[in-house]
A and B are shown apart, each in its own frame.
Chain A
Amino acid sequence: MTPTPPPVLIHSKVPFRPHRNLLVALLSGATLLATHFQLRAQTAPAAPASPLRTVDSTIQGSEIAVLTSAPEVPPPIRRRHATKVVVNLEVKEVVKRIADGTEYLFWTFGGDVPGKFIRVREGDQVEFHLMNHPTSKMPHNIDLHAVTGPGGGAASSFTAPGHASQFSFKALNPGLYVYHCATAPVGMHVANGMYGLILVEPKEGLPPVDREFYVMQGDFYTVGKFGDEGLQAFDSNKALDERPTYVVFNGSVGSLVGDRALKAKVGETVRIYFGNGGPNLSSSFHVIGEIFDTVFQEGGILPSQKNVQTTMVPSGGSVFVDFKLDVPGTFILVDHALFRAFGKGALGMLKVEGKNDLALYSGKEVDAVYLGQQADAGSAAEKKVESLKSQMQAAIRSDPKIASLSKEIQMEKGKQVYMQTCFVCHQVGGEGFPGQIPPLGKSDFLMADVDRSIGIVLQGKSGELVVNGKKFNGTMIPHNHLPDDQIANVLTYVRNSFGNTGAAVSPEQVRLIRSTAPAAKAETFE
């Protein structure tokens, strides 16, 4: 705001002497007067000559506002007339705990996050004094969403450290409103904790309740990770990307937990004035184990819905919820975006004492062992499949057609083995060589004992043999280098060729003989 320098200096009647000091003095004077007018423009809003306060005849008397720190709420307003309310709010920059072992430099209204709760009545004339503590680094101001006027008061309350500002407004609209600092960079001021709630009660008042609480959610952005110890600095990149480190109620992790929990009794009706300072996140406000009987959505004074589980609270917005406590226990306040509740601190407790009502909520009634249905069914099915499979195998084996087909395969394969290995001595037609190599065709020796035949193939044989009444004396080398299935196949072949007829030989039979027989030495030929 750059005002016009007063014309008197330019059109001065004093003879103009170009003396350096005078010139500097005049120029300084110009600047001084300019800032003086700037000051005037700052403190008096564009207004009639006379001050606003004494003009309104509906205003009776004056009082100093009772301001409370969360979770306390100032008492409900009993008066039935509008009055002048003086609000004295001090801005202080303080280092406080944000989580165990972790500290943060909060910028606060009244020394805490959230800022003080202000309670006025519709029609009140509020004289707002904003003081900025001399130890503050930054200038601050305030924008109250309850104010109808430029910046919500921000334009008229811009205050340097060690100074104070004053402005007045009329509380025209009832409702629950957020207030916050609006100094550049605004997001940073809000991210550092500069927000709170102002309640403008409607003229007729709100429905009475037994207990009122003040809870405000905010997101915080630190250079370190969640839980990193020490003094944490604000991280502007995380704030721009909307990736908070902490999402908490009332300015710190665990602020409403344990002995700091909200407390109430069974049978009482509770009202929670819930605000969301942001700067970025919206909140899905829910109380685990309770249902909101009445929701005043977005902080308006009309009840908007009944029996609500979770209500949406925009950033820079609010809600108030009423619910009756019917059973005792600990009820958890959360932002139902669950990773914020269980990973970033958006969790609080409401501890309710009183008599149990088991009809309403019984607690655990039975604790029993459960084996599960899935396992039994599985094993029964498996067993069935196994038995069917073995039946199928038996059917295959017993079916002569199938059995003969597999025997044919074995004979074909066995013939290949015979034609590679055995024919050398036993000849292509199984005739053998008189006196030395017994025949295989129509051989009583071969067909009499399967196991003996298998053993001879595996370990060889030397010495005298009588086959079909004739003597033979020779040496058959061990063939244990052949796998079980080839031995089974070649024996099946010879037992069903050259005039022989017999059962097939299985690889299992060969394996059995091989495993029980002593290991034969590999024959070395000299």
Chain B
Amino acid sequence: MTVFAHARSVRLVLHACLLMAVVLSERACGGSTAGMSLLPAGNYRPLFRATNDPETQTVASFWLDRTPVTRGQFLDFVKACPKWRRSRVIRLFADTSYLSDWKADLDPGIDKDPQVLSRPAVQVSWFAARAYAEWRGCRLPTTPEWERAAAEGFLLAEGLKEPEFRTALARWYGSAAPEVLPLVGSGRATLHGIHDLHGLIWEWTEDFNSSLVTGDSREDTGLERQLFCGAGSVGARERSDFPAFMRAGFRSSLRSPYTLSNLGFRCALSAKP
């Protein structure tokens, strides 16, 4: 089976499919923007890009959840959609660790931990996250949207120019994952009131698997120049933006049914023109 044949056209086809899915799921029910911030249109400079892709992508204005989806919110979802309960979920759409830290289908363990409903929902697969977003009337953010939001600092639009922001980033990536995740919103908000893009959990995006990093990041150059540009850091946009590398690397290790104890998601909504 020719994995690399017609690679470029395949990517374009996949992107088209993705966009259609995004638009269609949104039109399902006009989603409310409660708990979301409106991010103005901005530029996204991809960390890795193919040689013919533009250096900067414009990201249209969109709404983004201020915090990741909580277990309480996910509980409402599984109450309303029984096929996404732990005992009933189709194995193809979520691996065996799906909601593994919940006590039961409809019990995230509130007696052991009274604040559990305010902690981020984790151990959810990409399919489950999308299903939740659709149920709520919105969608997952795309990677450019997520990265454009994540580039903002506390006070500046370009967080990497803010020493305090850089220190906070280094601190999180330099410390171990805590046993019990903190409550959502406990981290400091960035420029447009968004919390926890860094320092809490990894997050699903709609097109997580377009990070285009092979298992061996050193060979992301050379022959597959159409698909990849940069081997780890050569050719990448900002060589010292290690968190961006780590996110790109992390996303490319994921598969859609995967569930991880430090991977959750938040929702987005396109801004009406």
From B92, B214, B259, B260, A1 is in contact (CB under 8 Å) with B214
Q: Across the interface, do B24 and A160 meet the contact criterion of CB distance under 8 Å?
A: no
Q: Are A154 and B10 within 8 A (Cβ)?
A: no
A268 to chain B, nearest CB (A): 41
Q: Which residue on chain B has the smallest CB distance to residue A134? A: B261
- The answer to whether the Cβ of A95 comes within 8 Å of any Cβ in the partner chain is yes
Stretch at the interface among A34-42, A50-58, A244-252, A428-436: A34-42
- The segment from B30-38, B72-80, B112-120, B245-253 found at the interface with A is B245-253
Check A20/B216 contact, CB under 8 A, given A105-B176, A160-B254, A161-B260: no
Contact of B216 among A3, A141, A161 (CB under 8 A): A141
Question: Is the C-beta of A477 less than 8 angstroms from some C-beta in chain B?
Answer: no
| B219→A151 contact, CB < 8 A | yes
Q: Which residues of B contact A138 (CB under 8 A)?
A: 246, 249-250
Q: Does B5 sit within 8 A of A, measured CB to CB?
A: yes
**A3's contact among B1, B170, B176, B254, by CB below 8 Å, is which?**
B1
Closest to A157 in B: B215
Task: Point out the residues of chain A lying under 8 angstroms from B209, CB to CB.
Answer: 35, 38
Q: Does B255 contact A (CB under 8 A)?
A: yes
Number of chain A residues whose Cβ lies closer than 8 Å to a Cβ of chain B: 61
Q: A143 at interface (Cβ–Cβ under 8 A)? A: yes
Say yes or no: A154-B216 contact (C-beta < 8 A), given A4-B6, A28-B21, A160-B258: yes
A42 lies within 8 A of B176 (CB): no
**Known A-B contacts A28-B21, A154-B218, A234-B170; A135 and B177 likewise in contact (beta carbons under 8 Å):** yes
Is the C-beta of B128 less than 8 angstroms from some C-beta in chain A? no
A185 touches B215 (CB 8 A): no
Which residues of A (168-208) have their CB < 8 Å from a CB of B?
A: 182-188
- Give per-residue flags for A133-158: 1 if the beta carbon is below 8 A from chain B beta carbons, else 0: 01111110101000000110011111
Residues of chain B with a CB closer than 8 A to A156's CB: 215
Q: Beta-carbon contacts of B1-34 to A below 8 Å, as 1s and 0s?
A: 1111111001101100110110011011000000
A-B interface contact total, Cβ < 8 Å: 178
Counting chain A CB atoms within 10 Å of each CB, the highest count among B7, B130, B246 belongs to B246
Flag whether B213 is at the interface (Cβ < 8 A): yes
Interface residues of A in 201-243 (CB under 8 A from B): 223, 231-237, 240
Does B217 interact with chain A (Cβ within 8 Å)? yes
Given A2-B227, A24-B25, A237-B240, residue A155 in contact with residue B97 (CB < 8 A): no
The residue in chain B whose Cβ has the minimal distance to the Cβ of A25 is B21
Q: How far is A231 from B173 in the complex, measured between Cα atoms in Å?
A: 12
A155-B253 Cα distance, complex, nearest whole Å? 11
For the complex, what is the distance from the CA of A158 to the CA of B220, rounded to whole Å? Answer: 14
A37 to B10, CA, bound (A): 14
Q: Which of B110-166 contact A (CB under 8 A)?
A: 127, 130, 134
Chain A CB within 8 A of B188 CB: no
CA distance A1 to B10 in the complex (A): 11
Instruction: With A20-B24, A188-B242, A233-B171 as known contacts, state yes or no: A139 contacts B216, CB within 8 Å.
Output: no
Contacts of A2 in B (CB 8 A): 3, 7, 10-11, 14, 212, 227
Tell me if B21 and A35 are in contact (CB < 8 A).
Answer: no
Contact B215 A232 (CB under 8 A): no
Q: How many residues of B contact A (CB 8 A)?
A: 64
Interface bits A27-47 vs B (CB < 8 Å: 1, else 0)? 110111011011101100000
56-108 of chain B: CB within 8 A of chain A: 92, 97
Task: Name A's interface SS.
Answer: mixed
Whole-angstrom distance between the alpha carbons of A235 and B260 in the complex? Answer: 27
Contact B260 A184 (CB under 8 A): no
Q: Which of B13, B14, B246 contacts A185 (CB 8 A)?
A: B246
Docked CA distance A157–B215 (Å): 7
Chain A residue contacts of B97, Cβ below 8 A: 134, 162
| Contact (Cβ within 8 A) A150 B216 | yes
A459 at interface, CB cutoff 8 A: no
Contact yes or no, B253 A139, CB < 8 A: yes
The answer to whether A31 and B1 touch across the interface, beta carbons within 8 angstroms, is no
Interchain CB contact (< 8 A) of B240 among A31, A32, A135, A240: A240
Contact yes or no, B216 A158, CB < 8 A: yes
In the complex the two chains form, is A24's CB within 8 Å of B218's CB? no
User: Which residues from chain B contact A35 at a C-beta distance below 8 Å?
Assistant: 209, 255-256
Contact B170 A94 (CB under 8 A): no
The yes or no answer to A5 lying at the interface (CB within 8 A) is yes
B185 to chain A, nearest CB (A): 21
Say whether A139 contacts B249, CB under 8 Å.
Answer: yes
Q: Does B52 contact A (CB under 8 A)?
A: no
Measured CB to CB, the nearest residue on chain B to A139 is B253
**How many whole Å from B14's CB to the nearest CB in chain A?**
7
Closest to B211 in A: A184
- Is the CB–CB distance between B177 and A150 below 8 Å? no
Task: Please state if B175 and A41 are interface contacts (CB–CB under 8 Å).
Answer: no
Most buried by A among B7, B174, B232, B255: B174
Nearest CB of B to A317, in Å: 17
Q: Output the least CB separation between A2 and chain B (Å).
A: 5
A163 touches B174 (CB 8 A): no
B270 in contact (CB, < 8 A): no
A388 at the interface (CB under 8 A from B): no
Contact of B245 among A31, A37, A185, A237 (CB under 8 A): A185
Q: Is A419 an interface residue (CB 8 A)?
A: no
Do residues B174 and A32 form an inter-chain contact, with CB atoms below 8 A? no
Q: Which of B7, B20, B250, B255 contacts A39 (CB 8 A)?
A: B255
Taking a contact as CB atoms closer than 8 A, the residue among B21, B170, B255 that contacts A24 in the complex is B21
Q: Does A23 contact B (CB under 8 A)?
A: yes
Select the residue from A39, A159, A184 with max chain B CB neighbours within 10 A. A184
Chain A residues positioned under 8 Å from B18 (CB to CB): 27, 31
Q: Which of A39, A137, A185 has a CB less than 8 Å from the CB of B262?
A: A137
Q: Is the CB of A30 within 8 A of B17?
A: yes
Residues from chain A with a CB closer than 8 A to the CB of B134 are 24
Supply 10 A–B pairs (Cβ within 8 Å), ascending by A.
A5-B10, A23-B24, A37-B3, A41-B1, A136-B177, A138-B246, A151-B219, A158-B215, A185-B233, A236-B240
Interface residues of B (CB under 8 A from A): 1-7, 10-11, 13-14, 17-18, 20-21, 24-25, 27-28, 92, 97, 127, 130, 134, 167, 170-171, 173-177, 202, 209, 212-220, 227, 232-233, 239-240, 242, 245-246, 248-250, 252-256, 258-262
Question: A160-B253, A162-B260, A223-B167 are known contacts; what are 17 more A-B pairs with Cβ within 8 Å?
Answer: A2-B7, A2-B212, A23-B20, A30-B14, A41-B1, A93-B176, A105-B174, A105-B175, A150-B216, A155-B214, A159-B253, A161-B260, A163-B258, A184-B245, A185-B249, A188-B245, A234-B173
